[in-house]
A = this chain, B = another copy of it.
Amino acid sequence: MTVEKNRQILLASRPRGEPSPDNFKLVETAVPEAGPGQMLLHTVYLSLDPYMRGRMNAGASYAQPVEVGEVMEGSAVCTVVTSNLPRYMAGDIVVAGTGWQEYSLSDGEGVQRVDPALGPISYALGVLGMPGLTAYTGLLNIGKPQPGETLVVAAASGAVGSVVGQIAKVKGCRVIGIAGGEEKCRFVREELGFDGCLDHRQPNLAERLQAACPSGIDIYFENVGGAVFDAVLPLLNNFARIPVCGLIAHYNATELPAGPYRVPLLMRNILVKRLTFRGFIVFDYGSQFRDFITDMSGWLREGRVKYREDITDGLENAPRELIGLLKGENFGKKLIRVSPDPTKR
């Protein structure tokens, strides 16, 4: 193998509002060599996820930001090129927090082996990985779905939303999705088997949601915020649960929307309807990973959970695709294929 250069994408500057291609910089460096206790990884699939927008801002959130000039943060499915670690050998397939680059070194920390028997190896970044675990743990631990209840989830064709809705169907819920555009909505209804899916780009979302949820809403899995949240709030039933997983509608915001100051209205709803809002981050539930893999690989096998990917070739396209992801332009779980999939050669 003649390896000559490593391509990396750095954070060139911090965006104000929507990121632009200028905020990223593609550089070429030497491919590093694995020292003692290290292995060299070659990126196959890089995952693009909404949380990456947060890492581009200064100031700590639940994780540290990426510094300007550093490689953009991200997880990837990789092949092991060379290994000085006893647990891994060349040719192994793993998931690691490589960042946006073709080659990376790892000491094995946080690395997880990918079992190709469970499904395509790219699934380890989606339905069998972090987004799937997010859907599974947030829905089951906080949403606590009961048969006959109504669940609403937005970004319903996406990596998390699609899984939330399908698990809720497995648990006997009535499931209404929200997505951008009729093509996605049709997919959600016809392929994923949701009971309904509304296009948030069409007018009168609140009225259409009310019509689609004649018994109100018992679980709202919050991953978008914004206008969807405003439409959901009046429809929540007593004792409804709202796992708060993401707020993609606000990630590019530079200031708060105009008033009035509606927090008292939200709090009044929480009080009178005895609502539960609980935020969570997938790392809080890492201990449930094994249960998750068992359940989810079973549901995939049985055809009870279906999963769609949206793959773009070429590391150089990652900035453009992340910008698009934040505007809902992807259709399914967004991946960058950085090098050929070794299981498909």
Q: Which residues of A contact B (CB under 8 A)?
A: 61-62, 222, 225-226, 229, 238, 244-247, 250, 253, 255-281, 284
Of B238, B274, B279, the residue contacting A271 (CB under 8 A) is B279
**Do A263 and B229 touch (CB < 8 A)?**
yes
Identify which of B61, B258, B277 contacts A270 (C-beta below 8 A).
B277
Copies of this chain present in the complex amount to 2
A256 and B261 in contact, given A272-B61, A274-B281, A280-B274 (Cβ under 8 angstroms): yes
Residues of B contacting A269 in the complex (Cβ-Cβ under 8 angstroms): 279
Which of B226, B258, B264 is the one whose CB lies under 8 Å from A225? B264
A277-B277, A279-B272 are known contacts. Are A257 and B264 too (CB-CB below 8 A)? yes
Q: Which residue of B lies closest to A269 (CB)?
A: B279
13 further A-B contacts with Cβ under 8 Å, apart from A258-B259, A275-B277, are A62-B272, A244-B271, A247-B271, A250-B267, A250-B268, A256-B261, A258-B261, A259-B260, A261-B261, A270-B279, A274-B279, A274-B284, A276-B276
Contacts of A266 in B (CB 8 A): 263, 266
Q: How far is the CA of A259 from the CA of B267 in the complex (A)?
A: 16
29 contacts between A and B (CB under 8 A): A226-B264, A244-B267, A247-B268, A247-B271, A250-B264, A250-B268, A255-B260, A256-B259, A256-B260, A256-B262, A257-B259, A257-B261, A257-B264, A258-B259, A258-B260, A259-B259, A259-B260, A259-B261, A261-B261, A262-B262, A262-B263, A270-B278, A270-B279, A271-B279, A273-B279, A274-B281, A275-B279, A276-B276, A276-B278
Q: Which of A246, A257, A271, A273 has the most CB of B within 10 A?
A: A271
How far is it, in angstroms, between the C-alpha of A314 and the C-alpha of B93 when the chains are bound?
A: 81
Closest to A257 in B: B261
- Cβ–Cβ contact A246 & B261, under 8 A: no
